[in-house]
């Protein structure tokens, strides 16, 4: 590549999204790229010409190692939706003006479904108007819902956190052995796809029974059947722990969390999910008199770099590096994908797929991995997910807590 490049981050952060930025930077420098810029707060910041020179942070190899261990989006994220091209050509021209100003030849965007839509639209505009700049998507989402790719960087680490925390919650809930059962309902992220909630199944091990039930948005939620399940469990157990996706909904498509209240929406029109566990815990307590507890992991499941999967970190770095290789080979309008080559031992390579088959497409948990009663996951899911949570990368501790690489404002 003769020109400079820029990399940005968008959407909800993950524990390993910064590893992808490190991969982009390392590979670009290996190829002799002079300047690797970072967008400050994604494409929204880029439209305001907000850039940082990554040499300032990553020229020293210790910077890359610190970045791999830093949660959230080092460059700053955004939830900015690019407008339709027709009638908003000025917005797209602004992107290319800034690219030309800084001699930027390639733009790399780390994100999920909506971010890949940004890559698609910028690529389409470039093609329609004879622009030579190239655009490559770098997959990132704890939701694991991008199509074509075997899995998404970010999911393995979130799954590892969820499995670990569920195991600890189960151990805690079992502590008292009370005659009157305690029902603990754990709410896990996932609007329409239940990949994260499914990870609760990975807490089951030789020393842990795992959750008593798991409810995914892929299966219509029936409150009466849920209550019957709770009563059945409470009749024989002093500790009941249930995992539920924030996005579970009834047969009419109404989210359980929005029953009886209004739910806010974000810039992309997505409803803001929260409160499912609390609402269900209240209903259980009112109907049964049982002691209940609601736990919501919220942002913890995407920010826990201290327990990130080493497999996930390495793969996130690799998709960033391979995005640069794809651009160097002249490819554009592509997203790097992870392609599993074996399970025993686990092996995974990468590929590059047309962004038009990926943007705005959502992949859900396969029906064949959900138990017949719709309240759990079978061995097929575990065989798929277990390799993704393997390995650890210890934090770099300072004063007893992990040290992070922080961008100057």
Q: How far, in Å, CA of 372 to CA of 377, rounded?
A: 9
Q: What is the DSSP letter of 370?
A: B
The closest of 123, 190, 155 to 358, measured between CA atoms, is 123
CB-CB neighbours of 370 under 10 Å: 21
Q: For strand 213-215 and strand 239-245, is the pairing parallel, antiparallel, or unpaired?
A: parallel
Max CA distance (Å), the chain? 73
CB-CB neighbours of 366 under 10 Å: 11
- Residues forming a β-bridge with 109: 8, 137
Q: What is the DSSP letter of 333?
A: S
Q: Residue 141: CA atoms inside 13 Å, Cβ hemisphere, count?
A: 27
Nearest-10 crossing angle of helices 223-234, 276-288 = 60
In the residue annotation, 205 being an active-site residue is answered as no
The closest of 58, 78, 51 to 18, measured between CA atoms, is 58
Catalytic position from the list 114, 117, 143, 312: 143
Tokens in use for 140?
């990132």
Give residue 353's Cα distance to chain centre: 19
Q: Contact at 8 Å (CB) between 178 and 197?
A: no
Residues catalogued as catalytic: 143
């Amino acid at each position: 590549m003769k020109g400079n490049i820029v990399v940005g981050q968008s959407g909800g952060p993950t524990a390993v999204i910064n590893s992808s930025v490190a991969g982009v930077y390392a590979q670009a420098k290996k190829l002799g790229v002079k300047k690797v810029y970072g967008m400050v707060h994604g494409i929204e910041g880029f439209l305001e010409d907000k850039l940082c020179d990554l040499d300032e942070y990553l020229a020293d190899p210790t910077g890359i190692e610190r970045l791999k261990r830093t949660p959230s989006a080092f460059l700053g994220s955004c939830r900015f939706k690019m407008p339709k091209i027709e009638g908003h050509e000025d917005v797209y021209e602004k992107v290319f003006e800034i690219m030309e100003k800084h001699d930027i030849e390639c733009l790399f965007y780390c994100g999920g479904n909506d971010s890949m839509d940004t890559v698609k639209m910028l690529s389409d505009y470039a093609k329609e108007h004879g622009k030579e700049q190239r655009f490559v998507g770098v997959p990132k989402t704890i939701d694991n819902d991008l199509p074509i790719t075997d899995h998404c960087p970010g999911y393995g680490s979130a799954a590892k956190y969820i499995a670990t925390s569920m195991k600890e919650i189960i151990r805690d809930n079992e502590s008292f052995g009370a005659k009157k059962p305690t029902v603990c309902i754990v709410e896990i992220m996932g609007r329409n796809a239940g990949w994260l909630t499914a990870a609760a199944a990975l807490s089951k091990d030789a020393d842990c029974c795992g959750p008593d039930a798991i409810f995914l948005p892929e299966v219509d939620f029936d409150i009466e059947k849920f209550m019957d399940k709770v009563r059945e469990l409470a009749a024989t157990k002093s500790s009941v722990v249930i995992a539920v996706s924030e996005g579970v909904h009834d047969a009419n498509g109404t989210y359980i969390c929005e029953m009886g209240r209004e739910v806010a929406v974000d810039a992309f029109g997505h409803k803001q999910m929260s409160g499912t566990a609390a609402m269900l815990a209240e209903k259980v307590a009112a109907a049964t008199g049982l002691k209940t507890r609601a736990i919501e992991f919220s942002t913890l499941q995407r920010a826990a770099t201290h327990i990130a999967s080493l497999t996930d970190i390495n793969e996130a770095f690799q998709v960033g590096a391979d995005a640069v290789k794809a651009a160097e080979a002249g490819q554009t309008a592509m997203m790097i994908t992870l392609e599993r080559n074996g399970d025993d031992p686990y092996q995974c390579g990468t590929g590059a797929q047309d962004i038009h088959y990926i943007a705005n497409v959502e992949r859900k948990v396969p029906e064949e991995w959900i138990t017949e009663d719709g309240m759990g996951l079978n061995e097929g899911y575990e065989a798929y997910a277990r390799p993704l949570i393997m390995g650890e990368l210890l934090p770099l501790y300072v004063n007893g807590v992990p040290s992070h690489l922080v961008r100057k404002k």
